Amino acid sequence: MPLYAVLTGLILGGVIMAIAKYNPFAAYAALFSGAFGSPTAIGNTLAGAVPLILAGLGIAVAFRTGLFNIGAEGQYWVGAMAAVWVGYHFPTMPWIVHVPLALGAAMLAGGIWGGVIPGLAKAFVGAHEVITTMMMSYIAILIAHFMVENGPMMAPGYVPQSPTVAASATLPPILPTVFLNSNLSDAFFIAVAAIVVVHIVLFHTTLGYKLRAVGFNARAARYAGMNVPLYTVLALGVSGVLAGLAGGVQLLGVDFQLTDTFQSGYGYTAIVVALLARNNPIGIFFASVFFAALSAGSQIMQINAGVSANMTDVITGIIIFFVATDRLYGYWSQKMRPHRPSSTAAIISGKGESPQ
């Protein structure tokens, strides 16, 4: 089904391009070569998938527990801030301590941002996590702006940016001679490890079973004696931990300093990743590579085929739409049937047509 949504998205995207008098085949060819056309391009696509994998895993854990963490973007930024702060404060620390410490700080920050306030608010007073995580996300981004715009994390000088992290806190590139000048770093291995861990925890441990039970039917889980508030906080916390880690590895592996543009978009694309992958950790790998490829290829598409890079957002929107409307097929096949009995309600309201 997700494959069908992807295909529909690509085809309808092609139709829109054709209507706008572009050649969709040339556009997609440029897109593909931009994403996979050279070792550097492949390296950048895989590097772009890393934060999507991590944040996407986090969103999937929340979804599996029946919670919608829409604030991964903010959790990403608090993770990024924490990692950078640790990264430039202890320049003499050995690598083996410094990197785990910085990433640990990122995970802790993300976990607090997602788990403590939205988690507790959801668990104890029922505040909807869609709103609380979104509000926390805006707050995180404003704090990040504050930090580098004459705030405590601003580097000396007039440019709104943080100091660069120490060399001892950076994630080294993978095979720099093969993936020439690409952004691919050891963060990729962290992302793959996270997939394995989340998969095992979700599907092969009691904890994972309980999280999924709460997501499947919170009331039944409560009657079965499960501590639903605890698992709610835990799921949103883990969700934040993973999104925070995404920010951490991105800053230690690719960006190395906070600059004034707080729009990674990873936190939002990660939602799409989780949806497309049906919250399956292994599916998340492929969905992340797919969206990273769309994003990496869109620039080349704009340069070589003249199609605005925003076209990929149109395609992404269509794909999510068709993931959500998976009943479409059943709907049309039902429409084909000649005689449908009308519902009583429809007869009462004087309409021959029954609502679904």
Residues that bind other proteins (CB under 8 A): 16, 20, 68, 117, 121, 125, 127-128, 130-132, 134-136, 138-139, 142-143, 145-146, 149-151, 268, 271-272, 275, 308, 310-321, 323-328, 331, 341, 343-346, 348-349, 351, 354-356
Q: How far is the CB of 131 from other proteins (least distance, A)?
A: 6
Nearer to other proteins, 10 or 346 (CB): 346
Return the amino acid letter for 339.
H
Nearer to other proteins, 80 or 103 (CB): 80
Q: How far is the CB of 72 from other proteins (least distance, A)?
A: 13
Nearer to other proteins, 143 or 201 (CB): 143
Nearer to other proteins, 136 or 187 (CB): 136
DSSP letters spanning 15-83: HHHHHTT--HHHHHHHHHHHHHSSHHHHHHHHHHHHHHHHHHHHHHHHHHTT-----HHHHHHHHHHHH
Paired with 24 in beta bridges are: none
User: Mapping DSSP to helix (H, G, I), strand (E, B) and coil, where does residue 172 land?
Assistant: coil
Output the six-digit token pair for 202. Answer: 């979700």
Distance CA 274, CA 295 (A): 17
Q: How far is the CB of 59 from other proteins (least distance, A)?
A: 11
Nearer to other proteins, 63 or 188 (CB): 63
Distance CA 161, CA 335 (A): 58
Q: How far is the CB of 200 from other proteins (least distance, A)?
A: 27
Q: How far is the CB of 55 from other proteins (least distance, A)?
A: 15
2: left (phi over 0), alpha (psi -120 to 50) or beta: alpha
**For helices 266-276 and 2-19, what crossing angle results, to 10°?**
120
Distance CA 184, CA 187 (A): 8
Nearer to other proteins, 177 or 335 (CB): 335
Instruction: Give, in degrees to the nearest 5, the angle at Cα 131 between 232 and 102.
Output: 65
Nearer to other proteins, 156 or 355 (CB): 355
Q: Sign of dihedral through CA atoms 42, 43, 44, 45?
A: positive
**Quick one: 132 exposed, middle or buried, by C-beta within 10 A (0-12, 13-18, 19+)?**
buried
Return the amino acid letter for 7.
L
Nearer to other proteins, 69 or 170 (CB): 69
Q: How far is the CB of 341 from other proteins (least distance, A)?
A: 7
Return the amino acid letter for 338.
P
Nearer to other proteins, 205 or 326 (CB): 326
Q: How far is the CB of 228 from other proteins (least distance, A)?
A: 18
Q: How far is the CB of 12 from other proteins (least distance, A)?
A: 10
**Quick one: 115 exposed, middle or buried, by C-beta within 10 A (0-12, 13-18, 19+)?**
buried
Rounded to an integer, what is the distance from CA 175 to the centroid of its chain? 26
Count of Cβ atoms closer than 10 Å to residue 68 Cβ: 17
Q: How far is the CB of 263 from other proteins (least distance, A)?
A: 9
Nearer to other proteins, 253 or 267 (CB): 267
Q: How far is the CB of 247 from other proteins (least distance, A)?
A: 18
Distance CA 247, CA 241 (A): 10
